[in-house]
Amino acid sequence: MMFLSNEEKQMLDGSMGEGVRKAMDMLVALGKAFDAEKMIKVSRTHVALSGQEGDTYWCELLVNGGAHCLVPPTTNPNWDVETLNPIYTVSSEKLFLAARTEDVYRRIGAIMTHCCTPELAGNVPTFGEHVAFSESSATPYVNSILGARSNRESSVSALASAVTGRTPYYGLHLDKNRKGNMVVTVETDLRNAYDWGLLGWFVGMHTGNLVPVVQFSKKAYHWVRPTPEELLYFTTESSTSGAVPMFHLVGITPEASTLETALGGNKIQKELTVTREDLDEVQRLVSDPAGKIHLVLLGCPHYTYNQLKEVAALLKGRKIAEGVHFWILTSFDAIELAKRSGHFDLLKASGVGVVPDTCMDQPCFDGFQGKLNLTDSAKCAHYQKRRGLPFVLRSLSECIEIAVKGEVK
Amino acid sequence: MNSAKTFKCRTLVGGYTEGEAIVSREAICFYLCDPATGELLDKNHHLRGESLAKKVLVLPSGKGSSVVQLDGLFQMKEKNNLPLGMIVIDAEPVLVSSVYVVETPMVDRVEEDPYSIIKDGDWVVIDGEKELITVTKRS
């Protein structure tokens, strides 16, 4: 039987309102399913508000039951109706659902960051903090890179944690489940964030429910520390091709000073070696065949200020090819810095639109269904396939050259 | 009702329900159901073409991302074509939280293997409060 404090019992018996009761009741069901001995307090939450009806319905159910967030969550993007709706037509039904989603998350007390990289800005946990983060790329980042503790939450369970300030104590909240039990040896150079993404995809394909420990052979281990963008591409793609909420990078992540520390005495259940050929194969696997490009979509996950700056530097004032739409999805802080520093205007002059608050997996880009498009994100290419948008996958510098010419050879 | 047998179980999502059983040997993604009929559309599933609507479903586990699993169940709820209850073998977090949202009674850890005590068409009662299921063989 799970231990509940008096306050938690009051949440569960309805004396704090029906919305709070429902949220706590869901967490108790989850805790029970995983034999959690108790609830623990969380200090931060992030919800992947999806704009899908089932998710919006749950938030409405809680807020109409009087719930208000005890630990206000930051939110994932929806889409920037103001910027994009005048350009791309969306049905009134979908516009209404977007507005309804906004309204209900505001009423429950969410912090409307509309950003899928809260762990970089806006909601950054410190080492050892217990949190409840949904968004498949953010959960492994806060666990593995920052050393905070979160299970792979769905949007609805993360919202339940935001309302109650609790999560059941199981899984990655416990030391023993965070240790590695699989070893990945990387034998190739990783040149940029794109390569880290390909590596992530490859690791995700082979991990199952293990905790991989990634080490770099001497030959490859001569770069400076990976940047936040590189690490983020790794977490994003390993949680798209698979589900990897926890991993270690030897000598880089905080719970992996050495291979032995990362393994914590666990038996190695699987070993994997990664070569340049493996990374090239991922690109072939995910990318659609070359051709004329209609839309270039960068920023899945949201581009950082550094990446906006990098795009401007690669363009060197050149213009995007006639007829090609080029959007970079970015976070509220990055667009603000780009405006202050002049990069926003530079990009605009080249024909590149920078838009905040927007996820690629929203109805605004559906007009590009059946047309060939271009991205540097395997996650974008993968999920857009389901919406009927084919994507060529290339590194950022290749994307820029292609965008200027308008065609992938 | 002499042939009715009662078994202990564990309640994950509470409630009382009773109905005809449908037994799935494979995990289910509810996004691959037609909400208008409750019919399973999953190409490779052995229950393809069968309706899950208003039945007590025995299933090994769920599959599919959190968003699609929940939205699939939600669309079935809107058309009043959800299963009446679920008896699950291996509950995973997405299935538990999604089923919770649509308020379908769900239990696990039945004291005997559900696959040996429940067959298609049996009458099954789930009593979430008492953590019991009762199975009456189809006559």
- Supply the CATH number for residue A104's domain: 3.30.499
Among B30, B97, B106, residue whose Cα is nearest residue A48: B97
Question: What percent of chain A shows pLDDT beyond 90?
Answer: 89
The amino acid present at B57, given as its one-letter code, is: L
Mean predicted confidence (pLDDT) in A89-93: 91
Residues A310 and A343 in one domain: yes
A268/A386 same-domain check: no
**B97 at interface of A, judged by CB pairs closer than 8 A:** yes
Domain of A220 in residue numbering reads as: 179-284
**In this structure, is residue A251 part of a structural domain?**
yes
The answer as to whether A23 is a domain residue is: yes
The answer on A194 and A134 residing in a single domain is no
In a shared domain, residues A16 and A162 = yes
| Closest-approach residue (CA) in chain A for B74 | A54
Domain hosting B123: range is: 5-136
Q: Is A274 on the interface with B (CB under 8 A)?
A: no
- Is the distance from CB of B82 to CB of B53 less than 8 angstroms? yes
Strands A44-47 and A131-133, bridge-based pairing: parallel
In chain B, % of residues over pLDDT 90: 78
Query: Is 0.90 surpassed by the pTM of this model?
Result: yes
CATH code, domain with B50: 3.50.30.10
What average pLDDT does the segment B105-133 reach?
97
**Reported confidence tier of residue A358, pLDDT bands at 50, 70, 90:** very high
What is the arithmetic mean of pLDDT over A380-393? 90
Tell whether the model's pLDDT for residue A48 goes beyond 90.
no
- Classify residue A1: in a domain, yes or no: no
Average pLDDT over residues A383-401: 93
Our answer to whether residue B65 is catalytic in this structure is: yes
How do residues A196-229 score in pLDDT, each as one tens digit? 999 999 999 999 889 999 999 866 555 678 999 9
Residues in chain A with CB shorter than 8 Å from the CB of B98 are 54, 154, 156
Domain annotation covers residue A124: yes
Is position A142 within any domain?
A: yes
**Which residue from A minimizes the CA distance to B13?**
A29
- Look at residue A18 and tell me if it is in a domain: yes
Identify the H or E element spanning B22.
Answer: strand B16-23
3-state SS class at A364: helix
Question: Are A303 and A319 members of one domain?
Answer: yes
User: How close does chain B come to A47, measured CA to CA in Å?
Assistant: 12
Instruction: Give me the pLDDT at residue A218, please.
Output: 66
A165 and A154 share a domain?
yes
pLDDT tens-place string over residues A61-81: 999 999 999 999 999 999 999
Q: What is the mean pLDDT of chain A?
A: 95
**What residues of chain A lie within 8 A of the CB of B93, using their CB?**
30, 33-34, 151-154, 157
Give the pLDDT of residue B115: 97
Q: How far apart are CA A101 and CA A78, in angstroms?
A: 9
CATH number at residue A361: 3.30.499.10
Domain count across chain A: 3
Asked whether the beta carbons of residue B67 and residue A52 sit closer than 8 angstroms, the reply is yes
pLDDT (tens digit per residue) in A235-273: 999 998 888 999 999 999 999 999 999 999 999 999 999
Residues 6+ apart with CB under 8 A from A222: none
Residues A151 and A82 in one domain: yes
Specify the number of domains making up chain B: 1
In the predicted model, is pLDDT for residue A126 greater than 90? yes
Q: Give the count of beta carbons closer than 10 Å to the beta carbon of residue A118.
A: 27
Q: Which of A159, A56, A158, A163 is nearest to A101 (CA)?
A: A56
User: What's the pLDDT at A309?
Assistant: 98
Share of chain A above pLDDT 70, in %: 98
In this structure, are A247 and A380 located in the same domain? no
**In a mutagenesis test of the B interface, which of A152, A157, A170 is the best target, namely the one with the most B β-carbons within 10 Å?**
A157
Looking at the structure, do residues A169 and A183 belong to the same domain, yes or no? no
Of A135, A154, A175, the one marking the end of a domain is A175
Q: Which long-range contacts (C-beta less than 8 Å, at least 24 apart) are formed by A347-351?
A: A347/A308, A347/A311, A347/A312, A347/A315, A349/A317, A350/A312, A350/A315, A350/A317, A350/A318, A350/A319, A350/A320, A351/A319, A351/A320, A351/A324, A351/A326
CA distance A228 to A355: 21
Region B72-90: mean pLDDT is 96
